[in-house]
Copies of this chain bind each other. A is one copy, B any other.
Amino acid sequence: MKVELHTCLWHDVQAFHFNEKDLDVLRRTLPELNIVTHNNESSFLAQSENADAVLTWEFNADWYQRATNLKWIMTPAAGNDWVEADPTGKVDIFHGTFHGDLLAESLLSALLFMNHRMPEMWRNFSSKGWDRNLQKESRLLKDQTVLIIGYGNIGQVCGRLISQMGTRVIGIARHARANPDDIPVHAATELEKLLPLADHVVLMLPGSTSTDGLLNEQLIRRCKPGVYLYNFGRGNSLRSDDLINSWDHIGGAFLDVTEQEPLPKSSKLWGLDNIMITPHSSCIYASYKQAFLDETIDHLRALLKP
């Protein structure tokens, strides 16, 4: 019997939009699938009762009652922002777990970008300048300390890559734990104590009401003067106002996510010195879709095993 797999993988961002051709690898690898692709919500909802499995960016809680055959949802997203849980608990949700490699390179790019004073260097370049003193206070990243707040699976991949540079990495998770990489992972309760040790403080927190405004002005002021801040998790954990109010204390910031997205043109963040803002793009790589499909194939192979 064919297993019916429905896909709802349209997306505004081209790197996240799956077309028919992208799905060929599923057809080739798992011929027992009957794949039905949808390009809008109403098309999916009209046929959702036939779906055994869904690959999707989004799933609302009230969709489950129509999808009576549904057993599995696979979503590329790492965070649980767009797929709501099944109220009856019958459907298993598989989140993408391939983001670590992508995010780690983006974060390392950002660390080296700020550490090497690229905002100033770019301005020097743009004015055809040859100022050889702008980087005179730069220190090697390998001689510094990076604190990662939110040390889950993704944080751990990031920490491993950064520590390979020779850099000291400290992780903060909900609970302290042993870590195979020799990178200490402390409990969230120790945050205030650890902040003054870091030259670079990275937020990698998921979006939830419990992380709202977590790195507030008071905590930012606990950091070393001249610290660089990074947000590569969700925008809610660092409020724009807290950042702006403590700007005199820090060296700069690299934000891949912001409190509101897209960041409004009226935001004062755009005008700060030594800031770089990217449009929630830390996972935008050409390999994104392939990584999700590879993982999906592994899941389906295991689930469909007779």
Contacts and interface: CB of A to CB of B under 8 A. Distances in A.
Contacts of A143: 287
A132 B288 CA distance: 14
Contacts of A133: 13-15
Contacts of A165: 105, 161, 164
B132 A12 contact: yes
Interface on chain A toward B: helix, strand, loop, or mixed SS?
A: loop
A121 B281 CA distance: 10
A63 interface: no
Interface of A: 12-15, 101-102, 105-106, 108-109, 112-113, 115-116, 118, 121-122, 124-125, 128-143, 161, 164-165, 261-263, 265, 270, 276-281, 284-287
A276 B122 contact: yes
A79 B137 CA distance: 23
A158 to B, nearest CB: 13
B108 A138 contact: no
A135 B281 contact: yes
13 contacts: A13-B132, A13-B133, A15-B136, A101-B142, A105-B112, A105-B140, A106-B116, A109-B118, A128-B265, A134-B281, A135-B284, A140-B287, A161-B165
A125 B285 contact: no
B109 A116 contact: yes
A135 B14 CA distance: 10
A279 B132 contact: yes
A246 to B, nearest CB: 21
Given A129-B279, A132-B281, 5 more contacts: A15-B133, A101-B140, A113-B113, A130-B263, A143-B287
A12 to B, nearest CB: 7
